[in-house]
Amino acid sequence: MRKKKSKDVNPIPTTPPPGIPWEKGLWLGPVILTGIVVLILGGPVQALIILCGGLAAGTTWGMIALRRDIKTRLRYEKQLKEVNEQLRAGIDNMPNAYILVDTQYRVKEWNRKAEQIFGYTREEMMGKRPIDYIVPPGIRQTIQGPLEERKEDKGASYSGKDNNIRKDGTLITCLWSDTPLIDRGGNVYGILSMAQDITVQKEAEEEIRRQNEFLNNTIDSLTHPFYVINAHNFSIELANKSASGDRTAHNITCYALTHKEDAPCDFPGHTCPVTEIKKTKKPFTTVHTHYTKDGKKIFSEVHGYPIFDKYGDVEKVIEYSLDITDRKRSEEERQKLADQLRHAQKMEAVGTLAGGVAHEFNNILGAIIGFTELAVDDTPTDTTTHKNLRQVLVAADRAREMVNQILAFSRKDEMERKPLLLSEIVVETLTSLKTTLPDTIVLHPCIDEKLKPIMANPVEIHQVLMNLCSNAVHAMKASVGTIEITLTEIDSAAAPIESKAPKHGRYQQLTVSDTGCGMTPEIKARVFEPYFTTREQGEGSGLGLAVAHGIVTRHGGMITVDSEPDNGSAFHVFLPVTDHEHPPRD
């Protein structure tokens, strides 16, 4: 039997209260909910929601069946899952470690590269502090401070190298980049760190540093300048301390550093090693004049070697130079001594021959002069014969003068010398010389009469000055000119005789200069050779300057000449000063 319905049961409403969205279904009035059951039916996605309620005053329980379409939400959830998987894959495949921590520095993300670099798995590090695992204990406190600063200084990033430790205890070096993460409210909610293991790179850099240090120490140990020069622009790419003082010669050209020039040194007699090596592709050696950093001039033997590029062209040139100044000067001194020896031997041979001839000729002249004087006495003075005999005596006297010069040149024994004032000899000689000079020649003396005495033979010094003045007169023949005679005192270290003086000390310098025709270098090189002359035949014997040279040399002095074509000549006589007192003149 069907039970009879109670009268106090409220009828079931057929419509829901206003404002409740629903699709076709049943409404069972107010209930007390104790649970929800959702069933997914086949076909189009629908939902069956069963609401179970308990009894209450004036209420009943029942169920409501609603159909709602949720396929859009499921599609979004699927897409979100795919995006998360792709993001996860991207993070895991990053070439650098990707570590995300919260404000307490606990790991929220730890990718596969972080696992490879530090040896800890993602599961091991999630929720852990990396500073307690991958930072060496000795520097953890120094790392903690900068982390707090980055968290407080919003937006401030960090990039730098730090030492780290792997799970197995291996020490490594990483390049870190830390960026604070800020929400829309401007608050830091985490730090994103990217790390790259640069241990191998750092070891390579350290090896390069050691090699560079070894190379620099090696070339700095060289006592001579060493360069590596760019063959294209002549700039110095590497230099040792001997080359520049502090190895700061970079970005300067080789010619500016060594020659103090603004262009390459490629000119006759001074070939540029870089240019020559580029042309021949072979090592090259030459001698250059260089200047040190303090401006001192030196002779350098330069050795150059090519460095080729991959195409076989000269890319750079290695150069080192040896200071051969002392050797060069020694060679020049040896050459000078050899020339002097050859000259002395030649002068000795010529002197010996000339002395023998002069003695024989002097004997003949004695007879000629003696018998001519007798003949002059026996002939009347107003006859032609008397006049001719007088001319014979004049010629004989000139011949005797020549013989005396030859004998003076060849004389090996020392003539008597005594302390004398060179200024007095010069003044006396010039007094007698003025009467014989042509009117077209002006004599201009400049004599310091307060000089110390020299040890000399007055006759020989007079002969030296007369020969020099005679040579000057000949250089200005048939022209207007000036002969200037100066007498001063200098030290052996002075420029005119520096490194050439026979001995150190004070010297008196007697200079005879003219405004004549001058001499070519070829003539100047032979001017003191006996019997060498540029005069016409019969105008001179070629012994005047040779005799002067011999006298000055025997007095322990030296004689030099400066001359250029059309610019006159200047003969400088240097005679040593003596400490002996000059006796008073009678």
Q: What is the pLDDT of residues 392-404, one digit of tens each?
A: 887 787 677 667 7
The predicted pLDDT at position 156 comes to 67
Three-class secondary structure of residue 297 per DSSP? strand
Q: What is the CATH number of the domain that holds 156?
A: 3.30.450.20
In this predicted structure, what is the pLDDT of residue 339? 77
pLDDT tens-digit map of 213-268:
898 888 888 888 888 999 999 888 888 888 865 555 557 888 888 878 778 877 77
For 583, other C-beta atoms within 10 Å of its C-beta total 10
Q: Is residue 468 part of a domain?
A: yes
Which of 70-79, 196-205, 416-425 shows the lowest mean pLDDT across its residues?
Answer: 70-79
**Higher pLDDT residue, 455 or 223?**
455
Q: Are 483 and 436 contained in the same domain?
A: yes
Q: Which is nearest to 95 in space by CA: 7, 218, 198, 216?
A: 198
**Do residues 463 and 408 touch, judged by C-beta distance below 8 A?**
yes
Whether residue 442 contacts residue 482, with contact meaning beta carbons closer than 8 Å, is answered with: yes
With respect to residue 306, please indicate whether it lies within any of the assigned structural domains: yes
Long-range contacts of residues 74-82, Cβ cutoff 8 Å, at least 24 apart: 74/45
Q: Is residue 173's pLDDT more than 90?
A: yes
Q: Is 51 contained in some domain?
A: yes
Show the domain range for 311: 205-323
Q: Cα(272)–Cα(110) distance, rounded to whole angstroms?
A: 64
Q: Does a structural domain hold residue 136?
A: yes
Are 229 and 363 members of one domain? no
Question: Residue 20: is its pLDDT beyond 90?
Answer: no
Q: For the domain that residue 470 is a member of, what is the CATH number?
A: 3.30.565.10
Q: Which residue has the tokens 């000729």?
A: 361
Indicate if 284 and 270 belong to the same structural domain: yes
Pair (270, 345) in one structural domain = no
3-state secondary structure 208-240: HHHHHHHHHHHHHCCCCCEEEEECCCCEEEEEC
Do residue 307 and residue 376 come from a single domain?
no
121 & 236 share domain: no
Last residue of a domain, one of 349, 381, 406: 406
**Predicted pLDDT of residue 38:** 46
Spatial neighbors of 91 by CB under 8 A, at least 6 apart, are 98, 109, 111
In degrees, rounded to 5, the angle at the alpha carbon of residue 419 between the alpha carbons of residues 418 and 423 is 120
Q: What integer pLDDT is reported at residue 487 of this predicted model?
A: 93
The top-scoring range by mean pLDDT among 10-14, 452-456, 473-477 is: 452-456
Grade residue 37 by pLDDT with cuts at 50, 70 and 90. very low
Structural domain total, the chain: 5
Clarify whether residues 105 and 230 are in a common domain: no
Report the predicted TM-score, pTM, of the whole model to 2 decimal places: 0.42
Report the distance separating Cα 585 and Cα 427, nearest Å. Answer: 15
Q: What are phi and psi of 299, to 5 degrees?
A: -100, 130
- What pLDDT is recorded for position 185? 82
> For residue 273, which amino acid is it?
P
Residue 411 within a domain: no
Write down which residue in 151, 180, 197 finishes a domain.
197
If asked whether residues 486 and 513 sit together in one domain, one would say: yes
Average pLDDT over residues 550-577: 90
503 has pLDDT over 60: yes
Question: Which pLDDT band, with edges at 50, 70 and 90, does 151 fall under?
Answer: low
DSSP lists the bridge partners of residue 190 as: 181
| Phi, psi for residue 58 in degrees, rounded to 5 | 75, 10
For residues 333 and 500, what is the distance between their CA atoms, to the nearest angstrom?
Answer: 10
Residue 473 has pLDDT above 50, yes or no: yes
Same domain? For 277 and 381 the reply is no
pLDDT at 264: 83
- Do 567 and 516 share a structural domain? yes
Q: What is the mean pLDDT of residues 109-123?
A: 94
Q: Higher confidence at residue 12 or residue 556?
A: 556
Domain boundary among 269, 300, 323: 323
Please state, rounded to an integer, the average pLDDT across all residues of the chain. Answer: 79
Assigned domain for 462 exists: yes
pLDDT of residue 9: 46
Please indicate, yes or no, whether residues 557 and 421 belong to a single structural domain of this protein. Answer: yes
**Residue 254 and residue 267: Cα distance in Å, rounded?**
15
Q: How many CB atoms sit inside 10 A of residue 236's CB? A: 21
Tell me the pLDDT tens digit for each residue of 283-309: 999 988 888 777 788 888 999 999 999
Instruction: Answer yes or no: is 139 within a domain.
Output: yes
Specify if 221 maps to a domain: yes
Do both 390 and 470 map to the same domain? Answer: no
Residue 368 vs residues 338, 374, 390, 392, 538: alpha-carbon distances, Å: 44, 10, 12, 9, 21
pLDDT of residue 33: 43
pLDDT at 108: 93
